[in-house]
Amino acid sequence: MNVAKPLAVVTGASTGIGYELARQFAVHGFDLVVCADERRLETAAGELRRLGAEVVAVRADLALYDGVEQLHQAVAATRRPLVAAALNAGVSTGGAFLATDLADQARILDLNIASTVHLAHRLLPAMVDVGEGRLLITSSIAAHVPGPYQVVYNASKAFLLSFAEALRDELRGTGVTVTALLPGATDTAFFRRAGIQDTLLGLGDKDDPALVAAQGFAALMRGRGTVFAGSLRSRLGGYAARVLPHALTVPAYRRRSRPLRGIRPPVPHGTPLGAGPEGVRGAGEPTHGP
């Protein structure tokens, strides 16, 4: 790798917001370590190399402890200081909580929360040691609204927002900043992978992931704390979700996230893990939705 260029890490970088974030880094003169658990990652890495970046592609499942360690070791192997990281990988599963497979809900916690905390703890010390760094954590507008039919996903995004804001305060004065990116519904594979196409959220208008990424990258480089991203409609929706009472926002979210063809029955007691209702397993969503 060209040691004269700054180095950045992007997770969930095969498609959607993650790929567009990586693209922003590439066109602004960064080399990259990119990670996802999909075959599409190599194609994405090739596209980023054509933009002039040197790219290390790490195919790993960050929902696993060893997957996070694999990525961290790949970063360390570059023997270069890390200037920026965008922790963007995430997953969701739609449907009533009792009708979904517990393993799917556990994967949301493992990927969205545990991997972000784990990777931040691995990457930040080196940034603090040199007194320079930028960390982006992709949360969601959904962080501000308890989400019926996406109860664990929305809770995970609330955790990430709180984590980013608290970490930013702890790191004040170190030269390292933490930015929370809060997109709205974005035109990615999120809705298909979460099994929520058959909802008003899935059927509604969505933002361009390139726009979300450009706004997130600009906020990251300026060292901003929290940024709502996407169209004006989405950003205004984010501010409204933050200030309006849950008595108003939760019923509105329920109407948009409830399956239009009815609610699946709960998984019977004693159903083995991994044998939940058809079509609700998330496949490792690299971008973010509502």
The residues assigned a catalytic role are 153
DSSP-derived secondary structure for 202-250 = HHS--B-HHHHHHHHHHHHHHT-SEEEESSHHHHHHHHHHHHS-HHHHH
Strand, coil or helix: 33: strand
Cβ proximity of 185 and 165 under 8 Å: no
- The C-alpha atoms of residue 91 and residue 16 are separated, in whole angstroms, by 13
Asked if residues 80 and 6 have their Cβ atoms less than 8 Å apart, the reply is no
SS3 125: helix
Distance set, CA 6 to CA 25, 32, 53 (Å)? 9, 9, 10
Beta-bridged to residue 135, according to DSSP, are 85, 178
Phi, psi of 134 (to 5 degrees): -135, 125
Task: Determine what percent of the chain falls in helix, strand and coil, rounding each to the nearest 5.
Answer: 50, 15, 40
**CB environment 19-42: b (16+ within 10 A), e (fewer):** bbbbbbbbeeebbbbbbbbbebbe
> Are residues 29 and 74 in contact, defined by beta-carbon separation less than 8 angstroms?
no
Bridge partners, residue 207, by sequence? 186
